[in-house]
Structure 1
Amino acid sequence: MRIALLYPPPWKIPAPGEAPDTSGDGPPADYREGDLDPDFHQTPYGLYSLGAQAIRAGHQVKVLNLSSYPFSQVERVVRELDADVFGMSCWTANRRGVALTARSIRRLHPAAHIIVGGPHATPLAAEMLRHHPEIDTVALGESELAFLELLERLEAGRPALGIAGTAYRVDGRVELGPPRAAIEDLDALESPHDHYATHIVMTSRGCPWACTFCGAETTWGRGFRGQSVPYVLDALEAAVNELPVKMVQIKDDTFTTNRKRVIDICRGIRERKISFLWSCDTRVDVLGDDLLREMRLAGCQRLSLGVESGSPSILKNIDKKITVKKIIESTELAKKYGIQVRYYMMLGNRGETAETFRETLAFLEAAKPHQYIFSCLSIYPGTRDFDDAEAAGWLEREVYFRGDFQELKTPFDASEEDTALMSAWFEQNKGLRELYREGVEERRAILARLGDHHAAHLELGIAYLDAGQLDLAARHAARALELGYPLPGLAHNALACVAAARRDWQAMQDHFTAAAKRDPQHAVLIRNVQAARAWYAKGGPDRGLPLDLVARCDFQLLERTAQPALPGPLPEDFAVWPPAAPRPARPAEAG
């Protein structure tokens, strides 16, 4: 069968020069450019997994990211895609775009089967089917096996009704199939990295904790399931081999839940000599000294921690099950080995007041993460916040079908006065904030703890550059290259900055050229090359003009806007279907 897996835009986006939609299907009235979360445009990992399973089963599959496309272009894509099955990933932020795209699919391909899944559709499956008659099936939570069963039935001409883990209609009445057990052996699934190039990797599913604002349990069920160490290493190796920039984001809900497994993964990375840098998301209470050292030696560059608040009362209210003391202890342990620490923080959780907010700000000054980023509480269906708000009577689920908001951002129970205070602060401080950066002494100590480590050498070299010690800066940056630093463009950028500080313009150009040839896709490198070109155009060397260059080696991924990972241009033959893979042999039935 021909299967199109789509990631729709959030609403009807106007084309350049086109007037915005006035029928109620356009952006929210208060929408401003940049309001969408930076990760919104990443293709959800679940679409890759569905695509991989369908390819292995012998189907023809396309994964298309349309998340920033003008809606006129979405309709053109849908019109030209002659698919038997259209699947869409539905999140709260793009729920309206999913409904609009389903409407277009049904109009243009009346016989196609439309299935929708994702973290928004799962808890509101019945409502999705009632409000959007174009949708045939909603997949609930973990969907690979339900999706394969649906494809098998459709191909055989059988009704796609009663499938475990789905919602559907019978004679216009919404029904739910029986629950489907979680997939215990995740290794049995086809790896997305055997078919798609993406810097996002997921090695596990589920989270043993149950924070009030999080819907992980609704999607994955309670508990933690991890892929085996060999399976993870194969996936990482496949991912890194396809990436032009050797950086990977491990986006498990809580990567280090099983510490022994992560240590084994880290040692396997080194044994296989998989050369890349990576980040992961986790909790402060599943870290430790030995674990963090192994992670750093295996390439871990950034640790994103769900901290949420610095107020003990708020941490208790949201059932976070961590303490301020533990947050600071784990932060210091990560810093000990030079891992960049980023805090995810929240405003407006249950019980939030001006006093708890001030506690959080004071906590940040004491804990000193390298970076932090705040978000306002969003009430997502499938969370305890949603259930409690609905039970209290101040939230109706119908608002997700009537409202044009991107996400339902609202304090849980803060007073109007405290809400105004937090909103004003957030408006001035939104986005990623920098708080802490190591100097020479800290970087020297980190290198001593890690040994002859490429990334630690480059970080120390940049610290020396900032301190004006150019010979030492050049020595350590060069040593990083000798040791096989996975991002040579950043090392050459640092050496170019050293050369510029020495006024050795030819050496500066040589290092920029080497970076451009070997590893050009880094924001700081592009920024410096553009600055140098502008400086030369103004006669900088002859006129003695200052040249402002920056040397950094933070974990900052600059990914090309290319399909299917991001909503880049589609090839001219995007509607041409690839040949189907050979069908896997069926096991012989007992006679």
Structure 2
Amino acid sequence: MRIALLYPPPWKIPAPGEPPDRGGDGPPAEYREGDLDPDFHQTPYGLFSLGAQAIRAGHQVKVLNLSSYPFSEVERVVRALDADVFGMSCWTANRRGVALTARCIRAIHPRAHIVVGGPHATPLAAEVLRHHPEVDTVTLGESELAFLELLDRLEAGLPATGIAGTAYRAGGRVELGPPRPAIEDLDALASPHDHFTTHIVMTSRGCPWACTFCGAETTWGRGFRGQSVPYVLDALEAAVARLPVKMVQIKDDTFTTNRKRVIEICQGIRERKISFLWSCDTRVDVLGDDLLREMRLAGCQRLSLGVESGSPAILKNIDKKITVKKIIESTELAKKYGIQVRYYMMLGNRGETAQTFRETLAFLEAARPHQYIFSCLSIYPGTRDFDDAAAAGWLDREVYFQGDFQELKTPFDASEEDTALMSAWFEQNKGLRELYREGVEERKAILARLGDHHAAHLELGIAHLDAGQLDLAERHVARALDLGVPVPGLAYNALACIAARRGDIQAMQDHFTTAARRDPQHPVLIRNVQAARAWFAKGGPGRGLPLDLVARCDFQLLERTAQPALPGPLPEDFAVWPPAGARPAPAPAREEGGREAAMPRGRLRVVPS
């Protein structure tokens, strides 16, 4: 069968020059460019997993990320896709786009079967089917086995009803199939990385904790299940081999839940010599000195921690089960080995007041993570917040089908005065904020703890560059390259910045060219390419104009570039179906803003990899 797995846009996005839809299908009135979290545009890992299972079962599969596409383009894509089954991933932020796309599919392909899953559809499965007659089936939570059974039924011409782990219509009524047990042996699943190019990797499912705002238990069930260490290492090896930039985001809910397992993964990465940098998400109470050192040596560059608040009262209210003391201790441990620490913070949780908010701001100054980012509490279906708000009578489930909001962002119980205070602060401080950066002495100490480590040399070299110590900077950056740093583009970018400081424009151009050829697509490199191109265009060398270049090696990925992981351009043959069982060809990575950046005499080019 032909299976099209789509990640739709959040609403009817207007085409360039086209006015927004005012009939209720367009963006919310209060929407501003940048309101969508950058992670929104990443294809959900579940779609890749469904695709991998379907390919192994002998089906023809396409995964398309349409999350930033104007709706007229979505319609063109749907019209061109002659699929038997259309599957979509539904989150709260794109629930309206899923409904619009389902309507479009049904109008163009009336005989196709439309199945929807995801963390928004799972707890609202009955409502999705009642409100959207175009949708045939909703898969609940962990969907691989239910999806495969659905495909078997459809291929055999049997009714797609009664399948465990699904919601469906029968006799004009919406019904739920029996519950489907969680998949105990995750190694039995086909790996997405054997078939798709994505910088996201998931090695486990579930979280043993139950924070009031989180819906992980609704999606995965209670508890933690992990893939075996060999399976994880095979997946990482396959993922890295396909990536143009050797950076991976491990997006488990709580990656370090099983410390022994993670240490074995890290040791396996080094034994197999899988060369890449990575980030992960976890909690402060499942970290330790030996674990963090192993993670750093295996390439861990950034640790994202769900901190949420610096107020002990709020941490207790949301059932976080961590302390402020533990947050600071774990932050210092990560810094000890040079791991960049990012805090995810929240405003508006249960019991939030102006006082608890001030405690949080004071806490940040004391803890000093490298970065932090705030979000306002969103009430997601499937969370304890959702259930308690509905029980209290101030939340009606129907609002998710009637409102045009992106996500239901609202303080749980803050006063109007405190809400106004927090809203005003958030408006001035939203987005990623930088708070801490190591200097030369800190970087020297980190290198001494890690030994002759490539990324630590690169970081020390950039610290020397920031301090104006160019010879030392060059020495450490060169050593990072000798040791095989996984991001040579950032090392050559640093060498270009050193050359520019020395006034050696020829060497700067050579290093930029090498960076672009060896390792394109780093945001900092592309930013410098554009700055240098503009500088040459203005006659910078002859007029003595300043050249603003940046040397950084933070964990950062370029967004919106290549299908199917991000909503880049589709290839011309996107609607041509591969033979059953064939692996999708990786799409070429592309520079944001154009295919090339040229400098005088053609010395600097950013080329597709």
TM-score (norm 2): 0.94
Deviation at 1:534, TM superposition (A): 2.4
Q: State the alpha-carbon separation in 2 of the partners of residues 486 and 77 from structure 1.
A: 36
Q: Look up the match of 1:239.
A: 239
Pair 1:444-2:444 in alignment: yes
Q: State the alpha-carbon separation in 1 of the partners of residues 157 and 38 from structure 2.
A: 42
2:38 touches 2:559 (CA, 8 Å); kept in 1?
no
Deviation at 1:254, TM superposition (A): 0.3
Q: State the alpha-carbon separation in 1 of the partners of residues 277 and 464 from structure 2.
A: 22
Q: State the alpha-carbon separation in 1 of the partners of residues 277 and 482 from structure 2.
A: 17
Deviation at 1:559, TM superposition (A): 4.4
Q: Look up the match of 1:205.
A: 205
Letter in 2 for 1:577: W
Deviation at 1:545, TM superposition (A): 2.5
Deviation at 1:318, TM superposition (A): 0.2
2:106 touches 2:112 (CA, 8 Å); kept in 1?
yes
Q: Look up the match of 2:561.
A: 561
Q: Tell me the SS of whatever aligns to 1:400.
A: helix
Pair 1:96-2:83 in alignment: no
Deviation at 1:537, TM superposition (A): 3.0
Q: State the alpha-carbon separation in 2 of the partners of residues 297 and 59 from structure 1.
A: 40
Q: Look up the match of 2:607.
A: none
Q: Look up the match of 1:528.
A: 528
Q: Tell me the SS of whatever aligns to 1:39.
A: helix
What percentage of aligned pairs have identical amino acids? 91
Q: Look up the match of 2:324.
A: 324
Any residues of structure 2 matched to 1:120-519 within 5 Å, and which? 120-519=120-519
Q: State the alpha-carbon separation in 2 of the partners of residues 548 and 49 from structure 1.
A: 43
Q: State the alpha-carbon separation in 2 of the partners of residues 532 and 17 from structure 1.
A: 31
Q: State the alpha-carbon separation in 1 of the partners of residues 26 and 559 from structure 2.
A: 28
1:521 touches 1:559 (CA, 8 Å); kept in 2?
no
1:51 touches 1:192 (CA, 8 Å); kept in 2?
yes
**1:256-284: CA deviations, max 9, x gaps?**
00000000000000000000000000000
Deviation at 1:500, TM superposition (A): 1.5
96-105 or 573-582: bigger deviation: 573-582
539-548 or 36-45: bigger deviation: 539-548
Pair 1:112-2:77 in alignment: no
Letter in 2 for 1:500: A
Q: State the alpha-carbon separation in 1 of the partners of residues 524 and 119 from structure 2.
A: 35
Q: State the alpha-carbon separation in 1 of the partners of residues 65 and 544 from structure 2.
A: 48
Letter in 2 for 1:484: G
Q: State the alpha-carbon separation in 2 of the partners of residues 573 and 493 from structure 1.
A: 35
**1:56-107: CA deviations, max 9, x gaps?**
0001111111111111211121122111111110000111111111111111
Q: Tell me the SS of whatever aligns to 2:248.
A: strand
Letter in 2 for 1:536: F
Q: Look up the match of 1:581.
A: 581
Q: Tell me the SS of whatever aligns to 1:58.
A: coil
1:117 touches 1:140 (CA, 8 Å); kept in 2?
yes
Q: State the alpha-carbon separation in 1 of the partners of residues 459 and 79 from structure 2.
A: 51
Cα–Cα, structure 1 residues 569 and 529, in superposed 2: closer, same or farther, change >3 Å?
Answer: closer
Q: Tell me the SS of whatever aligns to 1:417.
A: helix
Q: State the alpha-carbon separation in 2 of the partners of residues 569 and 456 from structure 1.
A: 36
**1:179-230: CA deviations, max 9, x gaps?**
0000000000000000000000000000000000000000000100000000
Q: State the alpha-carbon separation in 2 of the partners of residues 535 and 310 from structure 1.
A: 44
Any residues of structure 2 matched to 1:50-89 within 5 Å, and which? 50-89=50-89
Deviation at 1:543, TM superposition (A): 3.0
Q: State the alpha-carbon separation in 2 of the partners of residues 18 and 411 from structure 1.
A: 35
2:41 touches 2:560 (CA, 8 Å); kept in 1?
no
Q: Tell me the SS of whatever aligns to 1:256.
A: helix
**1:264-313: CA deviations, max 9, x gaps?**
00000000000000000000000000000000000000000000000000
Q: State the alpha-carbon separation in 2 of the partners of residues 543 and 14 from structure 1.
A: 43
Q: Tell me the SS of whatever aligns to 1:558.
A: coil
**1:480-522: CA deviations, max 9, x gaps?**
0000001111111111111111112222122111111111211
100-109 or 559-568: bigger deviation: 559-568
Q: Look up the match of 1:33.
A: 33
Q: Tell me the SS of whatever aligns to 1:88.
A: strand
Letter in 2 for 1:145: L
Q: Look up the match of 2:589.
A: none
Q: Look up the match of 2:542.
A: 542
Q: State the alpha-carbon separation in 2 of the partners of residues 581 and 500 from structure 1.
A: 51
Cα RMSD, aligned residues only:
1.0
Cα–Cα, structure 1 residues 560 and 75, in superposed 2: closer, same or farther, change >3 Å?
Answer: closer
Q: Tell me the SS of whatever aligns to 2:449.
A: helix
Cα–Cα, structure 1 residues 537 and 132, in superposed 2: closer, same or farther, change >3 Å?
Answer: closer
Q: Tell me the SS of whatever aligns to 1:40.
A: helix
96-105 or 432-441: bigger deviation: 96-105
2:246 touches 2:486 (CA, 8 Å); kept in 1?
yes
Cα–Cα, structure 1 residues 429 and 53, in superposed 2: closer, same or farther, change >3 Å?
Answer: same
Q: State the alpha-carbon separation in 2 of the partners of residues 547 and 351 from structure 1.
A: 50
Q: State the alpha-carbon separation in 1 of the partners of residues 453 and 263 from structure 2.
A: 18
2:524 touches 2:552 (CA, 8 Å); kept in 1?
yes
Q: Look up the match of 1:20.
A: 20
Q: State the alpha-carbon separation in 2 of the partners of residues 550 and 98 from structure 1.
A: 40
Q: Look up the match of 1:589.
A: none
Cα–Cα, structure 1 residues 195 and 498, in superposed 2: closer, same or farther, change >3 Å?
Answer: same
Q: Tell me the SS of whatever aligns to 2:400.
A: helix
Q: Tell me the SS of whatever aligns to 1:15.
A: coil
Letter in 1 for 2:179: P
Q: State the alpha-carbon separation in 2 of the partners of residues 537 and 430 from structure 1.
A: 34
Q: Tell me the SS of whatever aligns to 1:447.
A: helix
Q: State the alpha-carbon separation in 2 of the partners of residues 462 and 78 from structure 1.
A: 48
Deviation at 1:469, TM superposition (A): 1.1
TM-score (norm 1): 0.97
Letter in 1 for 2:534: A
1:458 touches 1:491 (CA, 8 Å); kept in 2?
yes
Q: Tell me the SS of whatever aligns to 2:255.
A: coil
Between Structure 1 and Structure 2, how many residues are aligned?
582
Letter in 2 for 1:415: S
Deviation at 1:560, TM superposition (A): 5.5
Letter in 2 for 1:74: V
187-196 or 498-507: bigger deviation: 498-507
Q: Look up the match of 1:588.
A: none
Letter in 2 for 1:473: A
Q: State the alpha-carbon separation in 2 of the partners of residues 243 and 9 from structure 1.
A: 25
Q: State the alpha-carbon separation in 1 of the partners of residues 419 and 114 from structure 2.
A: 41
Q: State the alpha-carbon separation in 2 of the partners of residues 459 and 290 from structure 1.
A: 21
Cα–Cα, structure 1 residues 539 and 26, in superposed 2: closer, same or farther, change >3 Å?
Answer: closer
